[in-house]
Amino acid sequence: MGKKFIKSLFVVLSLVVLFSLFSCEKRETLEPEIKGVNPQMTAYTGDVFDFMAGITATDKYGKDVTNKVKYYTAAPMDENGVLIQSGEYSVRYELEINGVVLTQEYAMLKVIFKKPDGPSDNMIFNGDFSSGYTDPFILSQFENGTGTFGVENEELFINITNIAAAQASPRIDYNDLQLDPDKFYEVRFEARANVPRWMHIQIGQLIDQAPWFYSVDPIERFFYLDTTMQSYSFRFQPSTNEGADMSKISLLLEFGKMKEEAILTTCFLDNIVMEEVDSLGEDTTPPTITAPTEHSAYVGEELNVPVTAFDDFDKDITDKLEVSGDEIPVDENGLLTTEGEYTLIYTVKDTAGNEASASVLVKVLPPREFADP
């Protein structure tokens, strides 16, 4: 009886030891794990985003240690955890126990700008930059035009680091404006530059293929920025000539090469306003002549330089253009006869007497050769 008991006890103890060893071996093979991380998250400015929603964690024994998970992100938030700047931000989750980081997981948070509700005469949100952030203004860079932008002392700045041939890049965009072609609008802003230079403004619809842009304000808007803050303004009535969608209009502030200048400097803007007004006000803006700087023509063909003129009050005044400059020889049928380079000067006046001019270098080339029909 005693031997049987000892033998049975030995078997039981052996099984307990084997089971314990097996259990320990199995527990030690578990890896600490953070679960429930969404690699691509989306939120909106004004949201209080719950970074820990759906997150759980277990240690190497399978025990729930979710309370040991911490997250880290550079997404800008106020003291209440409200997201305040659009952009894409990385989020790092860490499981830390006894001062040791056991595992990490990563995600991206895309914050989309959402305009706050509330009535306002000013169609430009955050135009005074008192928020300390750039939303909803964005920086556009293309054709090797580059820069950085941000807010400093409640002023929007753009540091122009490279300029290509295009006057439109780099630029600052304000999108999603809705305009009415039967109404009038005024744009006002303050601006300066560390080194004096020109800036250019366009208003219209950006599109994703050529011609890339449908203008609703064909007037050329150039502004010379000095080293001290100055106020600028203009009025316009949206034009439907180019077929722009009036619900998708952008205000574009351009800092590329213009008026033969390509100056690298930092420019500052503040108190940007667009609002409805009752009229275009006093007519002090010259018409805009759209013309190529150079035009090629051929002996034996008619000269047809594509030149148009537009005025903010008088609208299309192409028929009022007057041409002067070099005399270009033609025969009795109006066909070009002589090769060479000639300068033509186009001039136009609006009803208020504001005048504009543009010159075109016409290159008359030898006759073109055509294949036999």
Catalogue all structural domains in the chain, each as residue range(s) with its CATH number. 33-112 (2.60.40.10), 138-277 (2.60.120.260), 288-365 (2.60.40.10)
Q: Looking at the predicted structure, is the pLDDT value of residue 25 above 80?
A: no
Average pLDDT, the chain: 91
Least Cα distance to 103 among 56, 142, 150 occurs for 56
Q: How far apart are CA 73 and CA 43, in angstroms?
A: 14
Q: Is the pLDDT of residue 138 over 90?
A: yes
| CA–CA separation, 291 and 302 (whole Å) | 18
Q: Strand, helix or coil at 123?
A: coil
pLDDT of residue 372: 65
Q: Which amino acid is at 8?
A: S
Instruction: Tell me the whole-structure pTM to 2 decimals.
Output: 0.73
Give me the pLDDT at residue 370, please.
73
Residues 338-347: contacts with CB within 8 Å, 24+ apart? Answer: 338/299, 338/364, 339/299, 339/364, 339/365, 339/366, 340/364, 344/305, 346/289, 346/291, 346/307, 346/309, 346/321, 346/322, 347/321, 347/322, 347/323
Structure tokens at 190: 């303050």
Q: Name the percent of the chain lying above pLDDT 90.
A: 82
Task: State the distance between the two ends of the chain, measured CA to CA, in whole angstroms.
Answer: 121
H-helix or E-strand spanning residue 343 = strand 340-349
Give the integer Cα–Cα distance in Å for 218 and 308: 11
State the pairing for strand pair 213-215/294-298: unpaired
Tokens of 202: 């366009």
**Per-residue pLDDT tens for 251-301?**
999 999 998 889 999 999 999 999 999 999 988 899 999 999 999 999 999
Residue 1 has pLDDT above 60, yes or no: no
Q: How many residues does the chain have?
A: 373
What mean pLDDT is predicted for residues 103-122? 88
Whether 207 shows a pLDDT value over 90: the answer reads: yes
| Omega before residue 170 within 30° of 0, cis | yes
Q: Are strands 315-316 and 288-290 parallel, antiparallel or unpaired?
A: unpaired
User: Cα–Cα–Cα angle for 166, 169, 171, nearest 5°?
Assistant: 145
